[in-house]
Chain A
């Protein structure tokens, strides 16, 4: 088995340019920088129109397929939604099944997963695959044999916890986080020993500094994020214990600064009147040491979040020329509608410009770093608030973007949704929803519910946008030959010109696409593109869960915006692999 390209010692050069292309895809974000940029060049803007299906594989599932097909050596690995099977497919045999690992997931866990029973995939490191199960285990599986190496329990479904995110493996640490911001969980990020599965550290999103792993080296950039035990004092008494703030999104890593980056989820309940205060550290970006979990800086994107704007979206680590200087930045397209460009060493916001339609805020105060909220849009008891844009899934949800070192642009798959909300009293009953909001979403301006946007991070501007009927809930990948791939919820898999946005090719898969496309060099030396088709996720719950569209408040209000999805697609998970003839 080949060594993954990111397993070795970091070099200074790989922070400034794409890492050497070895044709594999060993973690869903492609690399620690989370750029999803491929150096493979066989498929280009000229010949991409000839792409054909090379082979397919049925996952046997009917729920949302959000995972990324990984390629290590001559084997592909895919993780399914609940019951979280791990398939190993032989690339020398057109994807013939090598083995399947079944972790044995508690079926009851399906009842505490907020937004379909998805899984975002596995990560490979040093001969093992690591991934999370819906019922809160992290497993390590031998990549050759499919045998379980270890299995560690991290959470409890009876406290509303589940796990859906992709671990990040840094040195000897497997870094994982929990989901459940709609269930009154206490959010955390945890580092496990990669060899034994033992828990090395746990950093809670709220509570006293000792629980958040805030110590003497914690240096947030803004005054608002400084002070003792803010994770307790910015909540009503005790509310931090059930205040959400999970870490169900992406973790990226800068080997030179030795910092991991991730964001925390929304505070609970959604009804903001039940939790006065800034509710730290929900909706916050954290930089931590991977070895110990120690917090180095934090920036609360959404103090006292009113809208379920989780801060969990990806942090793409690139070095960009800003005012004549090369800056180590982090690009974070947030649910609140802004792309945050931050100095990733210090946590300073260099810019926060809108990529979506926003009515809930007017921008970020450069001095204080605080998001400037529009008071009239705050939900609360005794009122119905309309035209809240973006809606709760944000201008962009989990669907990860890609950065091209060729064009210098960030490719953002995202949503164009607004909503209306009336708040109700949420009762906390452990293991049940803790929301307190009745929501109906609908299309934002223009009527298209999805967009695929090329974003210039230096200028802070949209370069071009492709409008899509439904939210673009898939990930994306961009190649050195300026081809960008993404999927739609109708099931179209598309290739577009990364410079112009012109569509170059499309193929209709069996079900809506919400997965993460990847590209790799096969054992035969050819370039392939792989994507999982299979509608679901929060946006596709109306189809995956067979919901009744007469009640628009279903799926936390998403049903109302997706009433017509069942006319366009049906359930069913299939892996598609494409190549040139």
Chain B
């Protein structure tokens, strides 16, 4: 009998504590919030409408930008991860073209990084957690090179897998 009572009491006190805890959470408020932060999301802005006037740009440096090795690795990975299955050799297909400098979600390295990692709502898959970060940057550099957005000295010739001067090209 005693034991039962104890158990009931323990349960009841746990309930009371839990209720108290959730009430504390419900009623708590932060009186001093942080001011707007500058950082990654500034670098990856997708709109040029900047309410209240433009802020100075924060660069989000791409470790691969302008690097010939990174771009050539990006080119290899572009096939490896089946990017070419949708975007072809930059001309597009299931996905939009990447060689025409019309980037729906921004052309800065940070924008393209975002696109690959987070995906986009109209079909671009989210690759975050699947592709190592350094490879994402290599892909970013290669994608930018397709539209001539990377220094030409670092950019490989566009590969389309077929030998030169084909019948199709001659027509």
A residues lining the B interface (CB < 8 Å): 107-115, 182, 384, 386-387, 419-420, 422, 424, 426-427, 429, 431-435, 438, 440-443, 541, 545-556, 559-560
Contacts and interface: CB of A to CB of B under 8 A. Distances in A.
B123 A111 contact: yes
B167 A547 contact: no
A468 to B, nearest CB: 18
Interface in B81-108: 81-82, 85-86, 88-97, 99-100
Given A386-B167, A438-B161, 11 more contacts: A107-B123, A182-B85, A426-B82, A429-B81, A432-B86, A438-B160, A440-B166, A548-B99, A551-B91, A553-B161, A556-B93
B88 A553 contact: yes
Contacts of B168: 419-420, 440-442, 552, 560
A554 B93 contact: yes
B162 A433 contact: no
A560 to B, nearest CB: 5
B99 A433 contact: no
A35 B17 CA distance: 75
B86 A111 contact: yes
A306 B171 CA distance: 25
B121 interface: yes
B167 A551 contact: no
Q: Which 10 A-B pairs have the closest CB atoms?
A: A111-B123, A433-B85, A551-B91, A554-B91, A438-B161, A548-B97, A110-B123, A432-B82, A554-B88, A440-B168
Given A108-B121, A182-B85, A114 B160 contact: no
A386 to B, nearest CB: 6
Nearest to A438: B161
Interface of B: 79-82, 85-86, 88-97, 99-100, 119, 121-125, 158, 160-163, 166-169, 171
Nearest to A183: B85
Contacts of A551: 88-92, 97, 99, 158, 160
Nearest to B166: A420
Nearest to B91: A551
Given A440-B166, A551-B99, A552-B168, A541 B86 contact: no
A435 B91 CA distance: 17
B90 A555 contact: no
A117 to B, nearest CB: 9
A475 B125 CA distance: 33
A208 B93 CA distance: 34
Nearest to A554: B91
A112 B158 CA distance: 25
Contacts of B81: 427, 429, 432
B97 A422 contact: no
Contacts of A387: 167
Contacts of B124: 111
A559 B88 contact: yes
B82 A552 contact: no
A440 B88 CA distance: 11
Contacts of B88: 547, 551, 553-556, 559
Nearest to A538: B93
B162 A420 contact: yes
Given A431-B125, A442-B167, A554 B92 contact: yes
B93 A424 contact: no
A440 B94 contact: no
Nearest to B94: A114
A433 B123 contact: no
Contacts of A109: 123
Contact of A384 (B82, B89, B93, B163): B163
Contact of B96 (A419, A443, A546): A546
